[in-house]
């Protein structure tokens, strides 16, 4: 009788409960599992928790009796995530570093390394799903057999809509999806906690991480000041009058109500909100009316660096859905090409607080088609 080969999977172990349960589930399913902790760059002026996270991941691997490896991707993380983030802020955009971390670190350096080590699959604790679709159709979209004779892989939103992370995975390709597993994508977060507790994993009650190692635990302005020199500028009211100053437009985002100084304030003053900024003139415009932030709306969102997960442009005659920020409810839109051959999203309803540098991610119901960076 022919022996069936056990499929080998390398699991990205962050030291959190989601990746811990991912390794557990894959082991229960009969995979040959190896846990991999990815060590990333951290600033010298801030003490990250990576040592504790690595120890937590190591303890889970010991509990499951699976191999544990530490993979150093500091250079990749510094270049593709941190330097990218700093460069974006320098030109006045608000980047989404989590997207770049997935693209270049988890599904870049880690993915490529794991496959070279002989892994059949890589896995992470993302709340998303991969669906293999036979040749000829992908949820109603025709697939050319010349392009992909074995069919395609679709990226689906996670079952737990409160935790769905497909928004951060729009850069994935067919090559990556075909060798990726998301073990917790079919269950919700409370069930993940229950499984961790049932099998006595040490991460069962560990709090969720706050994204990047140091962002969220350190003020973004305090971080950026180590890489971008302060540049004093004027704060203008809606009439163009100078009413204060700030340390640089690159530190500030639309809607922010702190990080600048207003002259002649009184204890009864209501807060000002940033409603506009000019990078070249190094000025910001503020208003006491918070609704002014939301009034800057448009039905058209222009994109750059577009990626279509299926490898082909979707049917431009159909209506789809999209979100321009994480957790935003999906909004109906059409995908169009501009005269410059760039992609635009034309929404049925005006979109508020459109932020340059953030990701716009496009869906066909629960299927993530891809996305791009907002211009």
Task: Write down the CATH superfamily of domain 8-198.
Answer: HUPs (3.40.50.620)
CA dist 26 and 30 (Å) reads 7
CA dist 105 and 86 (Å) reads 17
| Residues with catalytic roles | 101, 213
Do the strands 367-374 and 297-308 form a parallel or antiparallel pair, or are they unpaired?
antiparallel
Element (H, E) at 243: strand 242-246
* Cα of 217 vs its chain's centroid, Å: 17
Do the strands 297-308 and 343-352 form a parallel or antiparallel pair, or are they unpaired?
antiparallel
Do the strands 8-12 and 32-39 form a parallel or antiparallel pair, or are they unpaired?
parallel
Rounded (10°) CA dihedral 205, 207, 211, 216? -170
CA dist 248 and 225 (Å) reads 10
* Cβ atoms 324, 358 nearer than 8 A: yes
Please choose, from the candidates 70, 51, 54, the residue with its C-alpha nearest in 3D space to the C-alpha of residue 15.
Answer: 54
Residue 6's pLDDT is 87
What is the biggest distance separating any 2 CA atoms in the chain, rounded to whole angstroms? 86
Please choose, from the candidates 59, 296, 309, the residue with its C-alpha nearest in 3D space to the C-alpha of residue 174.
Answer: 309
Please choose, from the candidates 34, 323, 38, the residue with its C-alpha nearest in 3D space to the C-alpha of residue 166.
Answer: 323
Do the strands 121-123 and 180-181 form a parallel or antiparallel pair, or are they unpaired?
parallel
Identify the sign of the CA torsion 334, 339, 341, 343.
Answer: negative
Residue 264's pLDDT is 79
Q: What is the pLDDT of residues 160-175, one digit of tens each?
A: 999 999 999 999 999 9
Task: Write down the CATH superfamily of domain 229-293.
Answer: Adenine nucleotide alpha hydrolases-like domains (2.30.30.280)
DSSP letters, 72-99, are E-HHHHIIIIIIHHHHHHHTT----HHH
Residue 339's pLDDT is 80
How do the domains of the chain map onto residue ranges?
Answer: 8-198, 229-293, 296-374
Residue 7's pLDDT is 96
pLDDT in tens, the chain (375 residues): 555 678 999 999 999 999 999 999 999 999 999 999 999 998 888 777 889 999 999 999 999 999 999 999 999 999 999 999 999 999 989 999 999 999 999 999 999 999 999 999 999 999 999 999 886 655 545 444 444 445 799 999 999 999 999 999 999 999 999 999 999 999 999 999 999 999 999 999 998 876 565 555 677 888 899 999 999 999 999 999 999 999 999 999 888 888 999 997 777 788 999 999 999 999 999 999 877 776 668 999 999 999 999 999 999 999 999 999 999 999 999 999 988 889 999 999 999 889 999 999 999 999 999 999 999
The three-state secondary structure class of 112 is helix
Alpha carbon separation from 227 to 82, 86, 216, 220, 230 (Å, rounded): 11, 7, 18, 11, 10
- Please work out, in degrees rounded to the nearest 5, the angle formed at the alpha carbon of residue 300 by the alpha carbons of 328 and 161: 15
* Cβ atoms 370, 362 nearer than 8 A: yes
CA dist 21 and 205 (Å) reads 12
* Cβ atoms 38, 110 nearer than 8 A: yes
Identify the sign of the CA torsion 313, 315, 317, 318.
Answer: negative
Single pTM value for the model: 0.89
Helix, strand, coil shares of the chain, percent, nearest 5, are 25, 30, 45
Phi, psi for 176 (deg, rounded to 5): -70, -45
Alpha carbon separation from 321 to 218, 331, 333, 366 (Å, rounded): 34, 5, 5, 10
CATH for the 296-374 domain, from 3.30.70.1520, 2.40.30.10, 1.10.3210.10, 3.30.379.10: 2.40.30.10
Please choose, from the candidates 372, 12, 374, 58, the residue with its C-alpha nearest in 3D space to the C-alpha of residue 176.
Answer: 12
């Amino acid at each position: 009788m022919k022996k069936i080969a056990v499929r080998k999977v390398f699991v990205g172990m962050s030291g959190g409960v989601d990746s811990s349960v991912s390794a557990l589930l894959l082991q229960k399913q009969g995979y040959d599992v190896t846990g991999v902790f990815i060590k990333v760059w951290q600033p010298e002026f801030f003490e990250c928790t990576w040592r504790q996270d690595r120890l937590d991941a190591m303890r889970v691997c010991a509990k499951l009796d699976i191999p544990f490896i530490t993979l150093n991707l500091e250079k990749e993380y510094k270049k593709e995530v941190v330097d990218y983030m700093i460069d974006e802020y320098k030109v006045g955009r608000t980047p989404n570093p989590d997207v770049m971390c997935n693209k270049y670190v988890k599904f870049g350096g880690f993915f490529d390394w794991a496959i070279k080590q002989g892994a059949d699959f890589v896995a992470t604790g993302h709340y998303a799903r991969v669906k293999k679709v036979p040749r000829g159709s992908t949820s109603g979209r025709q697939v050319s057999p010349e392009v992909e004779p074995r069919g395609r892989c679709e990226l689906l939103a996670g079952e737990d809509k409160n935790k769905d992370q497909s928004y951060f995975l729009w850069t994935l390709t067919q090559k990556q999806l075909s060798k990726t597993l998301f073990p917790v994508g079919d269950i919700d977060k409370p069930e993940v906690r229950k499984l961790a507790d049932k099998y006595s994993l040490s991460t069962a009650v560990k709090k969720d991480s706050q994204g990047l190692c140091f962002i969220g635990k350190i003020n973004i302005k305090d971080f950026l000041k180590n890489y971008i020199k302060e540049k004093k500028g004027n704060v203008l009211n809606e009439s163009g009058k100078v009413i204060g100053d700030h340390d640089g437009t690159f530190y500030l985002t639309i809607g922010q109500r702190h990080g600048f100084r207003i002259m002649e304030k009184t204890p009864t003053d209501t807060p000002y909100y940033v409603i506009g900024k000019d990078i070249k003139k190094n000025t910001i415009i503020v208003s006491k009316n918070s609704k002014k932030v939301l009034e800057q709306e448009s039905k058209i969102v222009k994109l750059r660096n577009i990626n279509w997960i299926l490898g082909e442009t979707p049917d431009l005659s159909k209506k789809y859905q999209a979100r321009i920020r994480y957790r935003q409810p999906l909004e109906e839109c059409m995908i169009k090409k501009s005269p410059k051959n760039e992609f635009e999203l034309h929404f049925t309803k005006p979109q508020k607080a459109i932020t340059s540098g953030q990701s716009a991610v496009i869906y066909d119901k629960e299927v993530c088609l891809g996305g791009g960076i907002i211009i």
